[in-house]
Amino acid sequence: MKQILKAIERNPRLTPAEIAVMTGQSEADVAAAIARAEQDRIILGYRTVINWERAGEDEVAALIEVRCAPQRETGFDAVAQRIYRYPEVRSVWLVSGTFDLAVMVVAKSMREVSLFVSERLATIDAVQGTATYFIMKRYKEDGAILDGDEPTAHRLAVTP
């Protein structure tokens, strides 16, 4: 199963037949394993990385640090669930360090991000403070290099 999942993670467009050749399994076994992984929520979706800047579409991304009080019996889960239900929120992570949750937000403008933080996020009872960092430029996302025309980086020659 791990080989199948790794293959799909690297390239979600692979067919079960192609994965079968790569792993030495039958196409039917691969298809059944993928169906089981989808049903068991091991595979949660198939994602395409798009360079929106190159496509001519403007969007603003921000990473928001959230300090919050854990809730009785649910810890940080209830706060995280409330936050991830907003459509602007792309990701929510529980992290270690000086803050508790890291939230990735994408909107059409800096104003929309600011309104999200001030009107939705900061008003949640358990939220004690936030710090917002606007993403200025993306260089690499989910393993895909966004900056430059080359699909892979070239190494410089090493000289003594």
Tell whether the model's pLDDT for residue 126 goes beyond 90: yes
What's the CA gap between 14 and 146, in Å, rounded?
A: 22
- 42 neighbors 23 (Cβ within 8 angstroms): no
Instruction: Pick the closest to residue 67 from 91, 88, 83 (CA basis).
Output: 83
Instruction: Pick the closest to residue 88 from 70, 100, 102, 104 (CA basis).
Output: 104
For 116, the token pair is 């999200």
Mean pLDDT of the chain: 88
Neighbours of 150 (CB within 10 A): 8
Instruction: Pick the closest to residue 91 from 68, 61, 113 (CA basis).
Output: 61
Model pLDDT, residue 144: 79
**pLDDT classification of 81: cutoffs 50, 70, 90:** very high
Tell whether the model's pLDDT for residue 90 goes beyond 90: yes
Residues of the chain by 3-state class (helix, strand, coil), percent to 5? 30, 20, 45
Q: How far apart are the first and last CA of the chain?
A: 46
For 98, the token pair is 């000086």
For 136, the token pair is 């200025």
**In the chain, where the domains are located:** 2-39, 60-137
CATH 1.20.210.10 given to domain 60-137: no
Model pLDDT, residue 55: 82
Tell whether the model's pLDDT for residue 50 goes beyond 90: no
- The percentage of the chain sitting over the pLDDT mark of 90, rounded to a whole number, equals 57
Q: Left if phi > 0, otherwise alpha if psi is -120 to 50, otherwise beta: which for 11?
A: beta
Instruction: Pick the closest to residue 22 from 38, 9, 37 (CA basis).
Output: 9
